[in-house]
Structure 1
Amino acid sequence: MSVYTQLTDDQFSAFCQRFGVSFACAIPITQGIKNSNWFIQTTDDVDGAHSYVFTLFEERPLEDIEKMAVILNQLDGKLPVAAPLSLVDSAEKCYVIRYDNKAITLVPCLAGSHPQQTTQAMCHEIGTALAMLHETLQALQPSEQYGVPLYPWSDVRDRERQFMPADEAKLMSDIWQSYTDLPLATLPKGLCHLDMFADNTLWNLSLNNSQKGEESLTGLLDFTEVSVEHYVMDIAITINDFCTTWGDAEQGESVNFDRSKMAAFLQGYESKRSLGADEKRALPVMLAKAAVIFWLLRLNVIHYNRTEGRTGDNIMVKNPDLMKRLAAYHWSHVEKAKNTVFVLLDNLLASQKDIQIVGVFSNITQAEQARDKLSNSSEFAIKEYTVDQLS
């Protein structure tokens, strides 16, 4: 069920006219569970095509939707977003119609498809796009007036930890404490997307493009959760989905993180916005914390469905164990890094029995980034050493 509020054709026509769009037909959209959505065919559309998406927001406060509309119009022209149209009958810039104390927006349809799998090239491109998003939204000041409040995940943590096995509760607590111990005050903050998963993006995924590795980004979606947060947290959230292959049930729901994809993402991101030293040091812990947040989010959905009595085949719940496993993977790297250094070696010089150490790094991410910046990175290797042990 994706249409909760029923509208007549006369109402659609009147609403669309206020946006300067000539209405012909409204087609209900079957996906989604929170809002009422329709594709809008205009009098100029041919062969059953549709040009716009009409959304009536059933739950979100009007003020949140108005903020989202401003954010999307700030990004319009710089990134592929569906920016809400402005009202033609308003003297001031206005993107939202108020109807029955709910918000209505009209946005252009975006081309493209959701990717089933990602490539290194796609990770590089989404990294570039996220950096551009962070940079562009800095123009909206003070940023707190445009972002929605962050969800109180610590409350969910305290509730769910009571019912977890001891090892899971310890994992969550250790990660949370390590996050708290970061120099958070030194980490840059601003408006962040905070849900840039692959299924919130659209790509040109034609067969020829896929074969050439030339998939192109055509759409960024779902800006309803934009909040003020540390940029490195937004980076971690995006990396966790784009750089992980999630196995289906037949594959035992495996979780496979690809560090080469992460290196490509960071290279793309830093082509537009350089990461500070504190951000680079914080990233491994942020990756673990981001996985914990989405672990809690999925547990919270289960809790909400249970308390609200929501059941049925149309209720989709993602497996929280997948995010738990990803959190454990990242945490193992954080713990190992406490006693490990990563040495960047020049294989060519080593073969000549000359000085071979190029750099020494506290984590693999920084070592990989340094290697990738070298003119011929294939000539360089990264070797891992445990501190206070003979090699």
Structure 2
Amino acid sequence: MTERISDFAAIAGRYALRQPLRIELEETGMNNTTRMIYAGEERYVLRVYDNHRDREIAGTEHAILSELQRADLSFRVPAPVSNRDGATITEAPDGKLAAVFGYIAGQRPSPESGAHVEGLGRAAGELTLALAALNPDARLAPAYKPYYDFENTHAAMNEASVKTLCESSPKLAEQAAKAASLLETRRRLTALTERFKELPQQWIHGDIVFANALADGDAIAGLLDFEFCAVDARAMEPAVVLAEFPGEDDALAMNRMRRFCRGYGSKAGLGADEIRLLPDLMQLRLMDVWLHFAGRLAEGLDPERVWLRETERVSFACGWIDRHRRQLDVLFAAMAERQAAI
């Protein structure tokens, strides 16, 4: 632990930060290690990339964030800070990559707040328009595959591998029926791949969820974690958030989706084909997450309870979407009509 603390201090020392300087553990994510830096009266977020050591991946993220600093957004996105060498990427003593970002004040928004749900929709719509202005080039080359390329992304977790995983313990075997149903959903989504590819494509954040946002009162104050930006179907951006809402209370889930769509539709538009495929794109997001955690279990990175939890959650949500497709078609069509009227 002492060695890691000294690593954080060594990274911070590469930046021209005010004194006195203090580094604190306040909150950290699943993919990276983060620390809060107090430098005089200023605050920064130090991130150590734990899941890759690829400068091109981090460089693309930082380039997108730098471009977005010039966009007329109603909320903030992380601003990469340059180190003493003029670079925004710093190599930690252990060889991992690190970066420092300006601090954005706020608290995590809540799906219990209608204002937060609608505000997150507006923020996602604003970001969609801002990212549409960015085109892949030598400096902004996508490092990650689009969601619809999930069969290649999760090639190691083919049907046979998933079935073998289900047979690896008694508790996992209890979920075999749910896994079989999800594999059927997977086959249907795979068959839709060409239709997904034909949808409008652009840069997307790809992981706008409540845990990756900040609120100030009723307003969304910031969107975070742009590490997995990719060129993908534009409609995946709202689909990722909408996939968070299915729940036991149907009316509540529909109301939250309606609020989100109202917020998103006030800022950005989706075409008829995108609207039509939104339920499938929601399931595509859920499938991607399920296969991701299956892979982590197969590699011994997670205890089996994590995939058991995801199997329960994803199975319920995919089934919920299938049961409510008619209502969702009406809800999403209404969003399209509002967009047409704007």
Considering the TM-score relative to the shorter chain, is it more than 0.5? yes
Matched residue pairs, number?
A: 316
Look up the match of 2:78: 82
Look up the match of 2:14: 15
Against the structure 1 CA distance between its residues 373 and 110, is the aligned structure 2 distance closer, same or farther, given a 3 Å change threshold? closer
Against the structure 1 CA distance between its residues 295 and 5, is the aligned structure 2 distance closer, same or farther, given a 3 Å change threshold? same
Report which of the two has the higher share of strand: 1
Report which of the two has the higher share of helix: 2
Look up the match of 1:134: 128
1:40 aligned to 2:37?
Answer: yes
Q: Is the 8 A contact 2:214 2:221 kept in 1?
A: yes
Aligned-residue offset at 1:331: 1.9
Deviations 1:205-242 (CA, angstroms, capped at 9, x unpaired): 4xxxxxxxxx111121211211221122221111122x
Look up the match of 1:286: 281
Look up the match of 1:95: 88
Separation in structure 2 between the aligned mates of residue 316 and residue 171 of structure 1, nearest angstrom: 17
Aligned-residue offset at 1:371: 7.6
Higher mean C-alpha deviation, range 315-324 or range 124-133: 315-324
1:326 pairs with one of 317, 322, 325: 317
Against the structure 1 CA distance between its residues 72 and 118, is the aligned structure 2 distance closer, same or farther, given a 3 Å change threshold? farther
TM-score (norm 2): 0.78
State, as a whole percentage, how many aligned pairs show the same letter.
20
Aligned-residue offset at 1:258: 1.4
SS at the partner of 1:148? Answer: coil
Aligned-residue offset at 1:22: 4.3
Against the structure 1 CA distance between its residues 70 and 4, is the aligned structure 2 distance closer, same or farther, given a 3 Å change threshold? farther
Separation in structure 1 between the aligned mates of residue 89 and residue 100 of structure 2, nearest angstrom: 8
SS at the partner of 1:274? Answer: coil
Look up the match of 1:365: 331
SS at the partner of 1:16? Answer: coil
For CA contacts below 8 A with separation 6 or more, give which structure has more relative contact order: 2
Task: Report the AA paired with residue 89 of structure 2.
Answer: V
Look up the match of 2:232: 229
SS at the partner of 1:328? Answer: helix
Higher mean C-alpha deviation, range 275-284 or range 230-239: 230-239
Look up the match of 2:154: 153
Deviations 1:101-153 (CA, angstroms, capped at 9, x unpaired): 43221112221112343333322221221122222123332169443223613
RMSD between aligned residues: 3.4
Against the structure 1 CA distance between its residues 370 and 70, is the aligned structure 2 distance closer, same or farther, given a 3 Å change threshold? closer
Look up the match of 2:55: 62
Q: Is the 8 A contact 2:89 2:98 kept in 1?
A: yes
2:176 pairs with one of 143, 162, 165: 165
Q: Is the 8 A contact 2:204 2:230 kept in 1?
A: yes
Deviations 1:75-126 (CA, angstroms, capped at 9, x unpaired): 2252411211134643xxx322234443221112221112343333322221
Task: Report the AA paired with residue 333 of structure 1.
Answer: H
Task: Report the AA paired with residue 65 of structure 1.
Answer: A
Look up the match of 1:268: 263
Higher mean C-alpha deviation, range 128-137 or range 178-187: 178-187
Aligned-residue offset at 1:161: 4.1
Look up the match of 1:298: 293
1:204 aligned to 2:216?
Answer: yes
Q: Is the 8 A contact 2:11 2:98 kept in 1?
A: no
SS at the partner of 2:82? Answer: coil
Against the structure 1 CA distance between its residues 4 and 235, is the aligned structure 2 distance closer, same or farther, given a 3 Å change threshold? farther
Look up the match of 1:53: 45
Separation in structure 2 between the aligned mates of residue 109 and residue 217 of structure 1, nearest angstrom: 15
Separation in structure 2 between the aligned mates of residue 272 and residue 129 of structure 1, nearest angstrom: 8
Against the structure 1 CA distance between its residues 149 and 276, is the aligned structure 2 distance closer, same or farther, given a 3 Å change threshold? same
Against the structure 1 CA distance between its residues 173 and 157, is the aligned structure 2 distance closer, same or farther, given a 3 Å change threshold? farther
SS at the partner of 1:203? Answer: strand
Structure of higher CA gyration radius: 1
Against the structure 1 CA distance between its residues 192 and 228, is the aligned structure 2 distance closer, same or farther, given a 3 Å change threshold? same
Aligned-residue offset at 1:160: 1.5
SS at the partner of 1:15? Answer: coil
Against the structure 1 CA distance between its residues 189 and 65, is the aligned structure 2 distance closer, same or farther, given a 3 Å change threshold? same
SS at the partner of 1:95? Answer: coil
Separation in structure 1 between the aligned mates of residue 178 and residue 48 of structure 2, nearest angstrom: 44
Against the structure 1 CA distance between its residues 96 and 331, is the aligned structure 2 distance closer, same or farther, given a 3 Å change threshold? same
Aligned-residue offset at 1:318: 8.0
Q: Is the 8 A contact 1:175 1:331 kept in 2?
A: no
Aligned-residue offset at 1:171: 4.0
Look up the match of 1:345: none
SS at the partner of 2:6? Answer: coil
Q: Is the 8 A contact 2:22 2:37 kept in 1?
A: yes
SS at the partner of 1:142? Answer: coil
Q: Is the 8 A contact 1:143 1:191 kept in 2?
A: no
1:123 pairs with one of 100, 117, 123: 117
Instruction: Map 1:351-390 onto structure 2 (within 5 A).
Output: 363-369=329-335
Separation in structure 1 between the aligned mates of residue 324 and residue 241 of structure 2, nearest angstrom: 18
1:187 aligned to 2:199?
Answer: yes
Q: Is the 8 A contact 2:271 2:336 kept in 1?
A: no
Deviations 1:271-303 (CA, angstroms, capped at 9, x unpaired): 222111110111122122222222333333333
Look up the match of 2:99: 105
Residue segments in structure 2 that go unaligned for 5+ positions in a row: 167-174
Look up the match of 1:174: 185
Look up the match of 1:240: 243
Task: Report the AA paired with residue 169 of structure 1.
Answer: A
Q: Is the 8 A contact 1:34 1:58 kept in 2?
A: yes
